[in-house]
Structure 1
Amino acid sequence: MLRTEHRDLDAAIDALSLAAPADQLQIARLKKRKLKLKDQIALIEDYLIPDIIA
């Protein structure tokens, strides 16, 4: 679900960037949300797949 939302935000950012007068504030907010999602995904993955030193 988080990965889907991350991809959706990527598509929304691309669409807004191509719009005539690009709304830079909205793009910045979407990018910030996308980064938070990426951090959440990484945190969950680290929790599920811990580093094992052999």
Structure 2
Amino acid sequence: MEQSHVSALQLKHAGIERKIHEELSRPMPDLAMVQSLKKQKLKLKEAITHV
């Protein structure tokens, strides 16, 4: 059960990483959105390490 929870968090983390990369590769990236995504990614990373 706990492993599936960690796997789900890791998938979300990877998805956010992909969104950040996609946004930054655009000609005019939305930096506020990137900052928000980075905060979400950090929270997920903390959740993964504390499980």
- The reply to whether TM is greater than 0.5 is yes
Q: Percent identity?
A: 30
> What stretches of structure 1 move > 3 A for 4+ residues in a row?
none
Q: Calculate the TM-score normalised by the size of structure 1.
A: 0.80
Q: 1:22 aligns with which of 29, 37, 45?
A: 29
TM-score, length of structure 2 as denominator length: 0.85
Higher helix proportion, which one?
A: 2
Aligned residues: 44
Q: Do structure 1's residue 43 and structure 2's residue 43 form an aligned pair?
A: no
Q: Which runs of 5+ in 2 are unaligned?
A: 1-7
Gaps of 5+ in 1: 45-54
